[in-house]
Amino acid sequence: MAGSFGVLAMVAAGVAAGTPALAEPDLVVAAAGPFTGSAAAFGEQMRSGAELAVADLNKQGGVLKRHLKLRLGDDQCEPKQAVSVANQLSGAGVFAVVGHFCSSSSIPASAVYHEAGLPMITPASTNPALTDDASTKGWNEIFRTCGRDDAQGAVSGQYLAAHFKRVAIVHDKSAFGLGVATQTTKGMNGAGLHEVLEESVNQGERDFSALISKLKEARVDAVYYGGYQTEAGLLIRQAHDQGLGATFIASDGILTDDFWRIAGPAAEGTLMTHPPDPRKSAAGQALVAEFKAAGQSPDGFALYTYAAFQVLAEAATAAGSVDAPKLEAALHSGRPFETVVGQIRFDAKGDIVDPKYVMYAWHDGNYVEQ
């Protein structure tokens, strides 16, 4: 089932019957992410954001007076599958791709989009190598509506140095997990604190007894985890059961209800970095109500996915075209784009200018800004 999901073509949910027909042919836009597999919870956040964004844009008259159709590509957070999806989307007549989610998918897929001259905006891939490498190679197609691990790692690293004395760094070896752990370590070291232990786990691992024994022997008072919700949740639950009293800190790789379901009450007090909560703004609150009315969750990266579609629509309007060179020029123009997560401007690399990160704590199944 997971392997056959492939690339789905579908009209975005919520397009009301009776919407006036637009004269020009439909514009096809894609969202690519892990719609099945271990990271499917994040894929669902992307799907809900993409579907609602497309529906809302169509209610407003589409893009350049053309109706939008949404095509989904399932990469399962697997690099090889991401390349396959990117190749399929590049040949499917889409004018842009919102995705991918995992950095380990976005990085190899970006090469395909460059070859095809297809703009790509990821709402979630934070590894600096994505845009650093693209910029070094002179590529113009790659953007993101999220921040980078070096910005996120600076916040978590400084927090660790200010509040703890014996810190362990653990990561899952993925491009995202290793990347954010590396940047956090750099930030912590720069603030004067050095880790007492560094360990790695494998994605899909289920028994962390040996690691927890090492953490207890090292007498750590905090554990920074770079990776995703499944392994983080299992590690935290098992650590609690085995009497490790350390505080766990992670990135927004755990920003899904799945994390709490896996870890249970042991997740109480777990800390996490993420940008300031866009659900609190006036625009965010209105959109949250719209998500809930549609029976969808506004959590996690749903709003950042929605914002990516807003950026594409505004750039196309500014360019007067969805032709890739003109669209990319508008995105690189330095102009501000008004989105549900706030005003976004892109620098020369395609990163957002002045990204912000803050600390959250998990409490009773939800995450609360500190």
Pick the CATH number of 149-274 from 3.30.70.2740, 1.10.10.10, 3.40.50.2300, 3.20.20.150: 3.40.50.2300
Q: What percent of the chain has pLDDT over 90?
A: 85
Per-residue confidence (pLDDT) for residue 286, from 0 to 100: 86
**Average pLDDT in the 286-293 region?**
88
**What is the edge-to-edge ordering of all strands in the sheet holding 167-171?**
197-200, 167-171, 222-226, 247-250, 271-274, 358-363, 366-369
Is the pLDDT confidence value at 275 over 60? yes
Q: Domain-by-domain residue ranges, the chain? A: 7-147+279-344, 149-274
Is residue 249 classed as helix, strand or coil in its secondary structure?
Answer: strand
**What confidence tens digit (pLDDT) does each residue in 33-63 have?**
999 999 999 999 999 999 999 999 999 999 9
Using 50, 70 and 90 to split pLDDT, how confident is the model at 23? low
**Res. 3: pLDDT tops 70:** no
Residue 309 and residue 307: Cα distance in Å, rounded?
Answer: 5
pLDDT for residue 12 is more than 50: no
Given a cut of 50, is residue 164 above it in pLDDT?
A: yes
pLDDT surpassing 90 at residue 284: no
Q: How confident is the model at residue 185 (pLDDT cuts 50, 70, 90)?
A: very high
Task: Give the CA angle between residues 66, 50, 225 to the nearest 5°.
Answer: 150
- What is the model's pLDDT at position 103? 96
- CATH class of the domain whose range is 7-147+279-344: alpha beta
CATH topology identical between 7-147+279-344 and 149-274: yes
Burial of residue 67, with CB atoms counted within 10 A of its CB: 0-12 exposed, 13-18 middle, 19 or more buried = buried
Beta strands in 158-221 (DSSP E): 167-171, 197-200
Amino acid found at 298:
P
pLDDT of residue 277: 83
